[in-house]
Every structure is written in structure tokens, then in C-alpha cells.
A and B are shown apart, each in its own frame.
Chain A
Amino acid sequence: MTTQLKPQSIVIEPAHRRAVIDWRELREYRDLFYFLIDRDIKVLYKQTVLGFGWAILRPVLSMVIFTVIFGGLAQVDSDGVPYALFSYAALVPWLYFSTALSAGALSLVNNTDMLTKVYFPRLIFPLTPVFSKLVDFAISFVLVFGLMAWFRVPPTPRLLALPLFIALMMLTTAGISLWLAAMSVQYRDVKHAMPFLTQILMYAAPVVWSAALIGERFGPTGRLLFGLYPMVGVIEGFRVALLNTGPLPWDMLGVGTLSAAIIFVTGLFYFRRMEVTFADVA
């Protein structure tokens, strides 16, 4: 069948032999991406008394709790810096990761009305929190410098490496979000498992404990294995870059970047494969 196609014509076929990413389409919908991020940010603290104060309060409260329990009662080693600062430096990337991941994983399930009513590139959904949660992240990040001044910890040139860690943090969040979001449409188990998953992921990362323990217990191979979980490298990277607690963990960051890239690319494939069934299954 030879049908003359105009430039804007669209062909809809069952076996979607499509590109993994349809760049033209994403470009057409970039305004929607922007407005969804904008919506997320504007809506988050509507009708709250503290507003964006929560962006500060959440990490600070967690810091206080961790400092009392792990720093005070359990006497966990904190690489020679005050435990409050030690945990806060890790909480900044960690809270970004856990909130963005939860929002991303449930982004499709929580928007099934849009999923079944309108078409637009579905990828926009899980990727929105990856960007919108950066606002909270930025606010809580600024406070690190206040705490550093309070505890008299001077900044070092290692701060310049932080943008790399932030990029890896976002890539990791995006990759795992893609997997979980695509799974959650068909298997609502994801929704119930999320609270436990984030808890497990937190204790698996050096948020309340020092990454130095990994090397002491398991040696360099153990460090590489732990590094496969990209947030290990990211959190240790934040701590070292901000608080100068040791050498930058390039070994874990290298392994972490590799595994984050693999998670992201496979997640993209999985998401695009499942995407065509979302509207039918949701």
C-alpha cells in the first residue's frame, strides 16, 4: 500500500518498531515536560504553613534523630567529623534520591486518568520528579555550608567535583524510576513495596555509617561490589567533597557510573516495551 505521507503524518501500527527514544516527539512535548515539573514544584508545599521550610526541616530532623541514635547512643564512627555534619552531608543526596524515586516509581499509577485519556510521551512521567525534586535538594544543600561554618569545617577545592556526583545521582534515580514505574502499572505490588525498598536502600548506602567500613571489612573487591549500587559512590563522594574526610572514592564512582548507565539504558528499553500496554492494563 503506497500512501503519500505528508511531513506531519503519523503512522500507527501494532508492532512498534520504534526508536528507543523518539527525539522529535520529545522535542514537541518539551513544554509539557516543563509545565509538569513546574506543577510538581508549585503543588508540593501548597496549603502548608512552613512551605519550602520543609525542604530544610526534613533533612534537619533526620539529622537530629540519626545524631541522637547512631552518633550518641550507638557511637557509630563518623570519619573524624561531628556526627551531625557527617549525616547531614549524606542526607542531602539521600533524601533527593528517596523522594524522587518514590515519586517516579508511582508516577504512572498515580496518573492513570491521564494515561488512559491523552497521548503524550510516557517517558515524561517518571522523569519529571528527577528534575522537580532538585528544588528541595538545592535548598537543603545550601544549609550544608551553614553547618560547615558552624562546625568550622573549611571548604576545599574538591567541591568542584560535586556536579559530577549530582549528575550520577540523577542518572541513578532516573534509571531505577524507569524500571519501577514500568513495572508498577501491571504489578501494583511496587506501590506496597516502595516504603521497604527505600528503607533497605538507605541502610545499604553509607548514610548512617561510614563508607570506610567497607574497605576495612571487605577489602578493595568489596568496595567495587558495593560500588555497583551507585548511591554508595554518590554519598561517599558528597561526604568527601564537602567534609574532606578522605580520598575521593573514584573506584566506587567508576563502577557506580557504569552500573547506573546500564540500569538507565535497560530501564529505557523495558519502559518503551511496556509503554504500549500501559493504557490497556492501567
Chain B
Amino acid sequence: MKLSSNGQANSHPEPDAAIVAEGVAKQYHIGLREQSRDTLLQSVLALVSAPLNNLRQLRRLSDVSDDDAPDVLWALRDVSFQVAPGEVVGLIGRNGAGKSTLLKILSRITPPTRGRVTLNGRVSSLLEVGTGFHPELTGRENVYLNGTILGMRKGEVDRRFDEIVAFSEVEKFIDTPVKRYSSGMRVRLAFAVSAHLQSEILLVDEVLAVGDAAFQEKCLRAMDGIAQTGRTVLLVSHNMQVIQQLCGRALLFEGGRLAADGAPPAVVAQYLSHAAAASLPSAVRLGDELCLNRLSVTQNGAPAGEWLDRGRPFEIHLHYDVLRPVRNLLLGFNVVAGDGANLFRTYDMLSAGLGERQPGSYESVLRLPGGVLPSGHYFFEVVAGLHRLRWLSKGDVRLRLNLGGGRETDVDFPGAVAPLGDWTVTPHGDASHGLNGSNRSDG
């Protein structure tokens, strides 16, 4: 489902825009690296002068100046845009591109260093679900506390209390201390409060990344609902599927600057074309023999980002140069689960053999079938070596991938591996009228 975009940003601020950002910039002071001490005397002297140095460093943390000192980081540079009321805008970009900093400025958690933002309407932000939840308080008390933290008045919480509790599915335990809840219940209750905020502008940061698959699905539906009530929504997500499904417009951030602004498919495509290569900051030398230029991922014949559909096959492409003739080359991946478990290793010699490989440019493609790995995130570590001789690289370069379900159902299939097999269900005798669910499998 796509939401209509109410128009692109233009050079003059419209009087009725919901959000107007003009030249917003944000500077951070990050701590300078500690100097190393070589001798005992230096260490002792450093110990004595440490309080003075610490004081100087700590003072700089809150010091806001426009200089380009080495410990200065510009998280946002000269960002301008407008959002019309009712628009649902996705913010995308790599980690550290400035998306979250922008949301923090819009939600008034931190002020901009330069520029100005005008917000027309009440703002509430879902930067993290469950902020301020206290384990000793009951669900009911936490709903009120969390609601007021997020900017609701007590009366508003009163009015929506039943809805919130119904959404969270924890009715039976609403007067139990939250510390007795399962983590799933806690997240559900927290999201329920957030989903019922009554503000004109809603800022959302990756809240959809919490909970199990079934709950994520529910959150997505809730976000759909929020988007359809005509509220202005700014949504940060790394999940391109979500961005394309919910948003009518997308903003791409790169290095603190606004790099693209437009319809989600085009902006997402621009992001992905960079993002796949982005896991390699530059070409990486593997020993004297290899130079790894680029890693990319495709699924369904199109470039894909970090998020893949676990049910369909996908391909990982290694683009590299062979710098001198090599024999017995082993090049491939170690596949590691998100929790660190080593799953399997595979090399391209399965196709190319161990014979001599001449200098030149190559592309090795690993094609993995769908429906083998369960939902979750994985690391594909590049391993390269000369068989029975030495390693060139083992885990220096790694690609992070997230496998998620398609959204047809919200059923989760847990387990270490996930070949789901083929099912046939045949009604017998009395039960022959028993299969009339919408998800019935024909055959």
C-alpha cells in the first residue's frame, strides 16, 4: 500500500507545512584519543596532570564552536526540507549518516548548532519504546507514566487506556508489576502506548526492529493505521521493505547531508546501489595476490540491501582482481549466525577448481537457495587462502545480512535451520468440511 505524497519540497516555505527545516547543522565534540605513555616517569606525570587534562576534555564536550578542530564531528550539514501535513516520509542512510541526529533535533532532545526548524503541531517521538518503564510498577502505572513522558495528558491516557491495553494483549496482567512480564509483553505494552499518541507529527526511529516476527507484523499494521489517519510521520528504518510499503516520500542521508529526496522506489534504489558497496569503504588488499573491490547482494534479479526475504534465493557477488598468477586459491565465505555460531563455509573452487588463476578482474557469485536459513541476521565473512600454504584473509571483511519473512503471514518458524519442507493436508471423513481457512493450501 502506498500513500500519496502531498508534494515535493520547493524553495519557498509554505505557510502550512508541518515541518520546515532550514539549513540545519549539528556539531559534536568527540573525545580526542589519549596520548600513549612510553616511560614510567611519563606515566606518573600523566597521572598527576590527569585531572587538569580531564577537566579540559570534559569542558570541551559542551563547548559549541564552529571551528574544525580534530575532535569535531559534523553529524548534519546544512539540511533543508519541508514536509506537508499528512505526509509519511522515510529517512534512510547508513549508520552515522545523520538520520537519528535529525530526529533528535526535531524532537527537541538536542538543539541544532546552526539553522532552524519550525514544527506546526504537537510532536511526539517513538525513539525507543518503553523509555521510563519502571520494573516495580504495574502495567497500569507504567502506561500512565510512559504516556505522560511521551507528552500525553492524564485525561488523554484515561480516554485511550482500554484501547492501549487491548492492543497490548496483556489485560490479565495489567495490575502485575512489569518485572514479572516476559520481554515480549513489555515491548507490546510499550508499543501500545506509543501507537496511541495523539499528536499531529510523529517521529519514529527503528521501533519496528523489536520483538518477534509476529509482533513486528502487528507494529507494521499499526504504523499503516497511523499513517492513514492523516498524521505527519517521519520514519527512520533500515528496512527498505518497510520504507517502500509505508512511505510516500523518502529522504536519503549521506555523511550528514541530504543526498536525495523523492519517491521511495527511486531513493531506495539510489541508496542500495551505494549501500551494497558500502560494506567495503575502499578496495581491500588480501595478501599480495588479491584485491577485493566490491561486494554486492542481489535477490529476484535486482540489487538488494541488508534486508532479504528468507524464503527466496539470493546471490552474493565478489568483485576482485587477481594481481599475480595463483594456484590452489580458496576464496569464499564463512557464514556466521548473529549469535556468533559458525554455520558453514563455502569456496568458489567448487566451480573454478584449484588450477592456476591468471591476473585480471573476476566476479565470483555465491547463490544460496531460499528457505534454508531461519529469520535473523548473519555475517558473511570473506575468507581467502592458498590451499595447504597460508591464509590471505580470514574474517577481515564481513557483510551483514538480515533475513526476514515475506509478509504474507505473521507465523514464525524458529529453529537452527529452516528448510520448511512440503506439506500436504488432506481432509478425511467427518473433517472434510473442516478446511476453509483463507490460507488453505490447494493440491
Chain A residues close to B by CB (< 8 Å): 1, 3-6, 8-14, 16, 28-29, 31-32, 34-36, 38-39, 42-43, 46-47, 113-120, 186-187, 274, 276-277, 279-281
Contacts and interface: CB of A to CB of B under 8 A. Distances in A.
A35 B149 CA distance: 9
A280 B111 CA distance: 9
A30 B149 CA distance: 11
B118 A119 contact: no
A31 B62 contact: no
Contacts of B61: 186, 277, 280-281
A43 B136 contact: yes
Contacts of B112: 12-14
Contacts of B13: 1, 3
A183 to B, nearest CB: 11
B8 interface: no
Contacts of B111: 12-14, 16, 276
B125 A186 contact: no
Interface stretch (B126-134, B210-218, B228-236, B242-250): B126-134
B52 interface: no
B116 interface: yes
22 contacts: A4-B15, A4-B16, A5-B120, A9-B118, A10-B118, A11-B118, A11-B119, A13-B117, A35-B148, A35-B154, A36-B145, A38-B141, A42-B137, A113-B132, A117-B127, A118-B127, A119-B109, A186-B59, A186-B62, A187-B58, A276-B111, A279-B104
A281 B62 contact: yes
Contacts of A115: 109
Contacts of A46: 136, 177
B141 A11 contact: no
Query: How large, as a class, is the contact surface on chain B?
Result: 35 or more
Contacts of B152: 31
B323 interface: no
A119 B116 contact: no
Interface string B39-53: 000000000000000
Nearest to B129: A117
A31 B146 CA distance: 11
A3 to B, nearest CB: 5
Given A12-B106, A279-B109, A35 B125 contact: no
Given A12-B112, A14-B112, A29 B119 contact: no
B150 interface: yes
Nearest to A277: B62
Given A12-B106, A14-B112, 20 more contacts: A3-B13, A8-B122, A10-B118, A13-B111, A16-B111, A31-B152, A39-B137, A42-B136, A43-B134, A43-B137, A113-B131, A116-B109, A117-B128, A118-B107, A118-B125, A186-B58, A186-B62, A276-B111, A280-B110, A281-B62
Contacts of A10: 108, 118-119, 123
Given A1-B13, A12-B119, A47 B110 contact: no
Nearest to A31: B154
B22 A1 contact: yes
A14 B113 contact: yes
A115 to B, nearest CB: 8
Given A3-B20, A8-B120, A9-B120, A118 B109 contact: yes
Interface in B144-159: 144-145, 148-154
Interface string B293-305: 0000000000000
A182 to B, nearest CB: 11
A35 B151 CA distance: 12
Contacts of A12: 105-106, 108, 111-112, 116-119
Interface string B1-24: 000000000000101100010100
B238 to A, nearest CB: 19
Contacts of B145: 32, 35-36, 38-39
Nearest to A7: B120
B376 interface: no
A169 B125 CA distance: 37
A19 to B, nearest CB: 15
Contacts of A31: 148, 152-154
B359 interface: no
A62 B110 CA distance: 44
Contact of A14 (B115, B128, B151, B153): B115
B136 A119 contact: no
Contacts of B15: 3-4
B369 interface: no
Given A31-B154, A119-B125, A11 B137 contact: no
Contacts of A114: 131-132, 149
B184 interface: no
7 closest A-B pairs by beta carbon, nearest first, are A32-B148, A277-B62, A4-B15, A119-B108, A12-B117, A31-B154, A46-B136
Nearest to B12: A1
A9, A115, A117, A274, most chain B CB atoms within 10 A: A117
Nearest to A42: B137
Interface string B50-85: 000000001101101000000000000000000000
Given A6-B121, A117-B127, A277-B62, A13 B116 contact: yes
B28 interface: yes
Nearest to A15: B111
Contacts of A3: 13, 15, 20, 118
A4 B14 CA distance: 9
Contact of A47 (B105, B127, B136): B136
B357 interface: no
Contacts of A9: 118-121
Contacts of A120: 149, 151
Contacts of B134: 39, 43
Given A35-B148, A39-B141, A186-B58, A279 B110 contact: yes
